[in-house]
Amino acid sequence: MIIKRPDSIKASEITDETNYQNRREFLSTVSRSTLALAAGASFPVLLGSRRTDAAPALGNIQKSRYALDEEKTPIEDITRYNNFYEFSTDKEGPALLARKFKTDPWTLRIEGEVNKPATYQLEDFIKPYTLEERVYRLRCVEAWSMVIPWVGFAFADVLKKVEPTSRAKFVEFTTLYDPRQMPGQQRRVLEWPYVEGLRIDEAAHPLTILAVGLYGKLLPNQNGAPLRLVVPWKYGFKNIKSIVRIRFTEKQPGTTWNIAGPQEYGFYANVNPTVDHPRWSQARERRIGDFFKRETLMFNGYADEVAGLYSGMDLRKYY
């Protein structure tokens, strides 16, 4: 065996962490696939075998007109394969580490350029609004995707409630900061707390929702309980979880991944298969549960609905 000293290794010889994780995930999946197929199991259950505790069911859910004619990702996969760095950078870690995460009671502070700033209880938003099931795609920059039946309400309803002023041009969202409950925050993987932002017209678009559940049940902790943003034409890191503050601003807010890697993660984060991430292509994606990749759709397949928001913009510059 040849062992190189650290100072003799070129940067080009270092395995990119994402590639390493992808290979590790692939080998793990192949191993589990072999065992499961030998036992007669079907492919969609191969991403994990740990039991996910059943979440309480939500009542009075209406079907939304925003429904995809696509096969939904099984709930077992949705709840066992998560990006939630507040708990773990490993995809399967959040399902284990978030089990005791306390989400009740939950308060949401709304402030900034609004006529009605206040601290609200989560029920102040859920009870007045009719919850809808909206089947949306979720696309991640690591080239994987899911089709998820979210349960939530339009963010436009919040805008009506708090009445943004004419100076409000952007909306900033902040995740809970609690390292005792969220062990991933004990590491400086990112700047905590997690912050995301939208232009106010993006936030007001009827596709943008605040989700409180999926598959007709309360949102599991590892999926962003009790309240997360879902903007289906953007990459998954834009869909901030466990929100405790919403602030309306005149200037564009700094956002966590854009601060961490401005050349890799733009403020807009729109799904655009013609703009590659510096370390991987965005042109194709693998739907969780599928073996083969498929073409990535512009705006994650929602171009007809949202392309007008970016008319005249250079989408390579504003990525």
Give the domain ranges of the chain.
47-141+148-262
The average pLDDT across 85-89 equals 98
Burial class of residue 51 (count of CB atoms within 10 Å of its CB; 0-12, 13-18, 19+): exposed
pLDDT at position 46, please? 29
DSSP string, 112-165: ESBSS-EEEETHHHHTTS-EEEEEEEEE-TTSEEEEEEEEEEEHHHHHHHH-B-
Burial class of residue 72 (count of CB atoms within 10 Å of its CB; 0-12, 13-18, 19+): middle
- pLDDT tens-place string over residues 38-67: 333 332 322 333 344 568 899 889 988 887
- pLDDT tens-place string over residues 69-84: 899 999 999 999 999 9
- In Å, the largest CA–CA distance within the chain is 68
* Bond prior to 105 in cis (omega within 30° of 0): yes
pLDDT at position 60, please? 85
- pLDDT tens-place string over residues 172-189: 999 999 999 999 999 999
Least confident of 26-35, 90-99, 165-174, 279-288: 26-35
pTM (2 decimals)? Answer: 0.84
Q: Indicate the CATH number for domain 47-141+148-262.
A: 3.90.420.10
The average pLDDT across 221-242 equals 98
155 against 13, higher pLDDT? 155
pLDDT at position 54, please? 65
Mean pLDDT of the chain: 86
Q: 10 Å Cβ neighbour count for 62?
A: 10
pLDDT at position 126, please? 83
Give me the torsion for CA of 175, 177, 183, 187, rounded to 10°. Answer: 100
pLDDT at position 203, please? 98
Least confident of 52-61, 232-241, 303-312: 52-61
3-state secondary structure of 172: strand
The average pLDDT across 149-155 equals 97
